[in-house]
Amino acid sequence: MALKRITHEPAFVLHRYDWSESSLILEVFTRHHGRTALVAKGAKRPSSNFRPVLLPLQPLQLTYSSDGEIGTLKSAEWVGGHVMPTGEALLSGYYLNELLMRLLARDDPHAALFDSYTTAVALLAQDAAATTEVLEAVLRAFELTLLREVGVLPVFDVQTLTHRPVQADDRYVLLPESGLRQAQPSEARQALAGQHWLVLQQAMDDSAPLHALLHLCMEQRELAQALKQQLRGLLHYHCGVETLRTRQMMLELQKL
């Protein structure tokens, strides 16, 4: 494979692994090349220019070369814009990173999703994001955006298997293997009203879906909370886990 050199590529570090005593392997999310693995040689040395820059949830510009599965990082620059999120917002950012690591294939570009992630991380870094309502809205909006981008989210205005239109006054559940369907009597408590699924679909059809979903979840906080339970099963199913690591960490911290 011919050596490719990628310059000034917008990116975020999703995860990092020790590779040797002085180097790291990075999992990065780039705007034009998707999720990519890179070796950052010497990044652990105290004198390395990489050391203060290769942090998660920070907007970067990377230059790297690649001729196979793992590329080699040449330079990394922080492009500014916001500082690192803290507290619950930091854990929420790590949660978004875990979703991207589990759901995105390598070298599969998602420029629109990258832009949505950039917006979500910037919101998490703001002081206002310390409120539970803002955090919930950011997470629900990004989860929906991600699931649709990777092709596993059904539309919400028809039932997935029967293609019958969703009725505003009926109640429906979102299930991993059968999509959106009318709720059985035993499922009524966790189901959402058809009118809620319809307004969610309208938001996702907006020209700026992440912003429309954020606005909807902030305005209808009960909807955002109920949607959390619906999306959890879908996310765990497609991530192949019963509980995501970051969610387990959040639960353990809440017990302290």
* 151-171 pLDDT per residue, tens: 999 999 999 999 999 999 999
CB 35 within 8 Å of CB 27: yes
Give me the domains of the chain, ranges plus CATH numbers. Answer: 4-78 (2.40.50.140), 87-255 (1.20.1440.120)
Comparison of pLDDT for 127 and 166, the residue scoring more: 166
DSSP letters, 202-229, are HHHTSSSHHHHHHHHHHH-HHHHHHHHH
When computed from its CA atoms, the radius of gyration of the chain, rounded to whole angstroms, is: 20
Residue 127 has pLDDT above 70, yes or no: no
User: Is the model's pLDDT at 133 over the cut of 60?
Assistant: yes
* pLDDT at residue number 86: 86
Look at the alpha carbons of 63, 66, 69, 71 in this order and tell me if their dihedral is positive or negative. Answer: negative
Q: What are the pLDDT digits (tens) for 35-77?
A: 999 999 999 999 999 989 999 999 999 999 987 789 999 999 9
Angle among Cα 214, 216, 217 to the nearest 5 degrees reads 65
Q: Give the residue ranges of DSSP H helices in 150-220.
A: 194-204, 209-219
Output the six-digit token pair for 188: 């009524």
pTM: 0.93
Distant-in-sequence, close-in-space partners of 32: CB < 8 Å, separation ≥ 6: 6, 9, 10, 109, 111
Can you tell me the mean pLDDT for 9-27?
A: 96
